[in-house]
Amino acid sequence: MTPQERIAELTERLNYYNFQYYQNSISEIDDFLFDKLLAELTGLETQYPQYRAPDSPTQRVGGTVSKEFAQVYHRFPMLSLGNTYSEEDLVEFDNRVRKGLDGAEFEYVCELKFDGVALSMTYENGILTQGATRGDGTRGDDITNNIRTIRTVPLSVPARLNPPVLFEVRGEGFLPLTEFERINAAREDIGEALLANPRNAASGMFKKQDSAAVAKNRLDCYVYSFLSDQLIFQTHEESLTALQQWGFNVSPTWQKCADIQAVMAYIGEWESKRFTLPLGTDGIVLKVNRYDQQDQLGFTAKSPRWAIAFKYKAQAASTTLNAINYQVGRTGAVTPVAMLTPVLLAGTTVKRASLHNANEIERLGVQLHDTVFVEKGGEIIPKITGVDLTKRTGQTVPIIYPTHCPACGTELIRTEGEANVYCPNEPGCPPQRQARFEHFIQRRAMNIESLGEGKIQLLLERGLVHTPADLYDLTYEQLLGIEKVFMDEETGKKRVVSFREKTVENILTAIGKSKAQPFSNVLFAIGIRYVGNTTAERLVDYFGTVDALMDASQETLANVPDVGPRIAESAANWFADPDNRTYIERLRAAGLQLAGERKTIEAVSESLAGKTFLYTGSFQNYSREQLETEIVANGGKLLSGVTKKLNYLIVGENAGPSKVSKAETLGVQMIGENEFTAMLTV
Ligand code: IVH
């Protein structure tokens, strides 16, 4: 291949990866390989500049701009950072800096390199006026409303803290790992496809048009840069300290380092410690501390000369794939789990890895007994990232996806366009039955959690229950004294499950109490595929009673806010099934709530008791009326003007400047609607 051909090939390939990454939130290549290819292209272009394409990925900072949002120009371009993977490169960087500063003394600030989405927040007169994505580095998407949903991004910085009239803060928006796990568990529970990793999940959320939907996810943002024409800080360290005082979320992981040796120590320290952080990190960033020295060093076309990222090698290990376990979920989805020879990875022993679905097995081209690479990325569950073909022996066996349910033997079905394969034997398939009970008893559903996994299994085995409706017929005499010793296959440990007097009493009380759970909980509990908590609430708001819901056509269902055609079809099919109707009738006979609770202004909590509120502007999640209702229903008091008696001013979009400045003068705390929402739930 000639250099010209190779340049063309690399340009096309890297542009494609960039497009997938920035536009579709899909990472098709790991960072290490991407950077290697980019370095190769940069090298070739330096040697043969005549072959450089105008759209070469070396010529721009990031992706292209998406169409849906208004575009905003960045006051200061959003650049990227040079990457290194070796200590030698770092030493070279250090030498370049020293030379650039003519041998003057300097210090670094080290930070972690957070794996999320770059965000920019602009404050004018202390008020957050604009939030944007990086876009192509020059222009990005105006996602102000979405950024406002981040609880840790202050909507205003009080005047008493003397912020500049105009300043910009940059940071990394992210979805905390625990949130990611929680969202995926909930998605799995209702049969939704899982989110691939926290970075993609965050990127997808920030790009949603509906900021109310964005607000439901607890997105967060670590800030790491301050920009303003008013030079109020001398060093990066000073700006981080101030940002923290101004109410921004500055990760406490940064450290001032006197020299490159101290930087190396920081790198060593965080190599494994970073796995204890609430988000994924893929390296560290070192920045020259003094701003005048940063200015002296300046920028290349793409990145600052005063900062560089050091990337950790992905924590990977290789091991053997011994078997595939096919797990059957509540909605019948059959998912493959790789069973591995235990291997140590980033401080924990890994025995299993997720394989997502049949497509993933095909994509990897993996066979049984292959040596595979496992990696721990931003996720907690490790994944198989490739096959070590150099180690493939004649002993490997192609993986044949089962055609029949591994649990009950029923022939599996695959719906066009869906990655999942399903076992259709909903009523009889044991793991589906078990999972249906576990779903039914969870706190967000009927709240009978005293009845755990083992006890349910025992009740099912003894034939005391078949469907969750049977729970309501259980008697004290039936339950008392039943017992079983379970053997944990993995640990070999014994576990005794027994129904003693006190246990039985607790369970029967919880079952009795569950009859008072609101209709929306019941609707979620019955486990219609794709119907999560929120959808259940919307359906109850719309239809009011189970009878109205049962009689609704698919078209009517699709009219309900937040209910798309897929959910409408799933719900219509569910209610069309006579067995399900019988099930509903049994729940009705047992006394469960099957009619909606329309919202009234009755007191719901005392969480705002003794506090006074006023709002200004408009909000994403509340109409003015709803906001007033919430304040009053939760024990708060609504005031009519900004006075010393006011505790909180809730600031929305297009907030009244006079209210805001008066609140500032009087030192009244200003909060966003999400902070307000958070106050309701404490
Ligand atoms: S400073 C001039 N600090 O990495 C560049 N960036 O490749 C200023 N990132 O787009 C960026 N953690 O999204 C900086 N502690 C950190 C960072 C960080 C993650 C991301 C950021 C930026 C990309 C640069």
Closest CA to 654 of 615, 622, 619, 617: 617
Cβ atoms of 27 and 200 closer than 8 Å: yes
Closest CA to 151 of 682, 680, 681, 677: 677
Which of 284-298, 491-505, 618-632 has maximum average pLDDT? 284-298
Mutate to test the pocket of ligand 1, among 239, 248, 285, 286 (most ligand atoms within 8 A of CB): 285
Q: To the nearest 10°, report the CA torsion of 473, 478, 479, 482.
A: -140
Cβ atoms of 18 and 62 closer than 8 Å: yes
CATH number of 519-590: 1.10.150.20
Helix, strand, coil percent content, the chain, rounded in steps of 5 = 40, 20, 40
Mutate to test the pocket of ligand 1, among 134, 172, 299 (most ligand atoms within 8 A of CB): 172
**Extents of the domains making up the chain:** 3-61, 73-311, 316-342+349-422, 430-514, 519-590, 612-680
Q: Is the pLDDT of residue 25 over 60?
A: no
- What is the model's pLDDT at position 92? 96
Burial code (b: 16+ CB inside 10 Å, e: under 16) for 341-357 equals: eebebbeeebeebbbbb
Cβ atoms of 24 and 200 closer than 8 Å: no
| CB-count exposure of residue 126 (10 Å: 0-12, 13-18, 19+) | buried
Q: Is the pLDDT of residue 603 over 80?
A: no
| Ligand 1 and 279: CB distance under 6 A | no
| Ligand 1 and 168: CB distance under 6 A | no
Closest CA to 156 of 648, 608, 606: 648
Give dist(CA 82, CA 427) in Å, integer.
57
Closest CA to 124 of 169, 77, 171, 72: 169
Domain 430-514: which CATH number of 3.30.460.40, 3.10.450.30, 1.25.40.10, 1.10.150.20: 1.10.150.20
Round the average pLDDT of the chain to a whole number and report it.
Answer: 88
Q: Between 31-47 and 3-23, two packed helices, what is the crossing angle to 10 degrees? A: 140
- What is the model's pLDDT at position 598? 45
- What is the model's pLDDT at position 224? 98
pLDDT in tens, 442-487: 999 999 989 988 999 999 999 999 999 999 999 999 999 999 888 8
DSSP letter, residue 55: T
| Token code pair at residue 74 | 């960045």
Q: Is the pLDDT of residue 127 over 80?
A: yes
Beta bridge partners of 113: 283
| Ligand 1 and 224: CB distance under 6 A | yes
Task: Take atom 3 of ligand 1 and give the residue whose Cα is closest.
Answer: 224
Residue 68, SS3 per DSSP: coil
Among the residue ranges 64-73, 255-264, 623-632, the one predicted with the least confidence is 64-73
Residue 592, SS3 per DSSP: coil
∠ at Cα 194 (565, 448), nearest 5°? 85
Contacts of 54 (CB under 8 A, 6+ apart): none
Q: Is the pLDDT of residue 678 over 70?
A: yes
- Higher pLDDT pick, 358 / 244: 244
DSSP H/E element including 506: helix 501-514
- What is the model's pLDDT at position 59? 57
Cβ atoms of 452 and 466 closer than 8 Å: no
Give dist(CA 44, CA 58) in Å, integer.
11
> Helices H, strands E: what count in the chain?
24, 26
Give dist(CA 109, CA 236) in Å, integer.
7
∠ at Cα 598 (519, 525), nearest 5°? 15
Backbone angles phi, psi at 322, to 5 degrees: -90, -35
Task: Take atom 24 of ligand 1 and give the residue whose Cα is closest.
Answer: 80
- What is the model's pLDDT at position 601? 52
Cβ atoms of 173 and 133 closer than 8 Å: no
Q: What average pLDDT does range 581-599 have in this prediction?
A: 87
- What is the model's pLDDT at position 372? 95
- What is the model's pLDDT at position 61? 33
| Ligand 1 and 284: CB distance under 6 A | no
| Ligand 1 and 79: CB distance under 6 A | yes
Q: What average pLDDT does range 316-343 have in this prediction?
A: 91
Q: Specify the pTM.
A: 0.67
- What is the model's pLDDT at position 516? 92
- What is the model's pLDDT at position 165? 95
Give dist(CA 662, CA 682) in Å, integer.
28
∠ at Cα 565 (579, 144), nearest 5°? 130
Q: What average pLDDT does range 241-270 have in this prediction?
A: 95
Give dist(CA 45, CA 28) in Å, integer.
24
| Token code pair at residue 90 | 């770092």
Burial code (b: 16+ CB inside 10 Å, e: under 16) for 205-239 equals: bbbbeebebbbebbbbbbbbbbbbeeeebebbbeb
pLDDT band, very low/low/confident/very high, at 682 (cuts 50, 70, 90): low
| Token code pair at residue 310 | 């050091």
Q: Please give, one letter per residue, the 3-state secondary structure of 347-364.
A: CEEEEEEECCCHHHHHHH
Q: What average pLDDT does range 408-427 have in this prediction?
A: 87
Burial code (b: 16+ CB inside 10 Å, e: under 16) for 527-547 equals: bbbbbbbebbbbbbbbbeebe
Among the residue ranges 38-47, 55-64, 515-524, the one predicted with the least confidence is 55-64
Would you name the residues annotated as active-site residues? 113
* Paired sense of beta strands 413-414 and 421-422, if any: antiparallel
Tell the CATH topology of 3-61: Helix Hairpins (1.10.287)
Closest CA to 215 of 115, 278, 142, 145: 145
**CB count, 10 Å around CB of 619?**
23
Closest CA to 278 of 184, 186, 180: 180
Q: Scan for tokens 């993995």, then name that residue.
A: 490
DSSP H/E element including 561: none
Q: What average pLDDT does range 277-284 have in this prediction?
A: 92
Residue 502, SS3 per DSSP: helix
Q: Which CATH superfamily is domain 316-342+349-422 in?
A: Nucleic acid-binding proteins (2.40.50.140)
Q: Is the pLDDT of residue 82 over 50?
A: yes
Contacts of 67 (CB under 8 A, 6+ apart): none
Give dist(CA 279, CA 640) in Å, integer.
42
- What is the model's pLDDT at position 380? 63
Report how far apart, in Å, the C-alpha atoms of 621 and of each of 456, 554, 653, 673, 677 are: 39, 27, 12, 8, 9
| Ligand 1 and 308: CB distance under 6 A | no
Separation of 114 CA from ligand 1 center, angstroms? 8
| Helices of type H across 27-114 | 31-47, 87-100
| Ligand 1 and 80: CB distance under 6 A | yes
∠ at Cα 316 (314, 320), nearest 5°? 160
Tell the CATH topology of 612-680: Rossmann fold (3.40.50)
Separation of 17 CA from ligand 1 center, angstroms? 19
Separation of 94 CA from ligand 1 center, angstroms? 19
- Which segments of 423-545 are extended strands (E)? 483-487, 494-498
- What is the model's pLDDT at position 252? 95
Are the folds of 73-311 and 519-590 the same? no
For domain 73-311, the question of CATH label 3.30.70.2190 is answered with no
Can you say whether the dihedral through the CA atoms of 407, 408, 410, 414 is positive or negative? Answer: negative
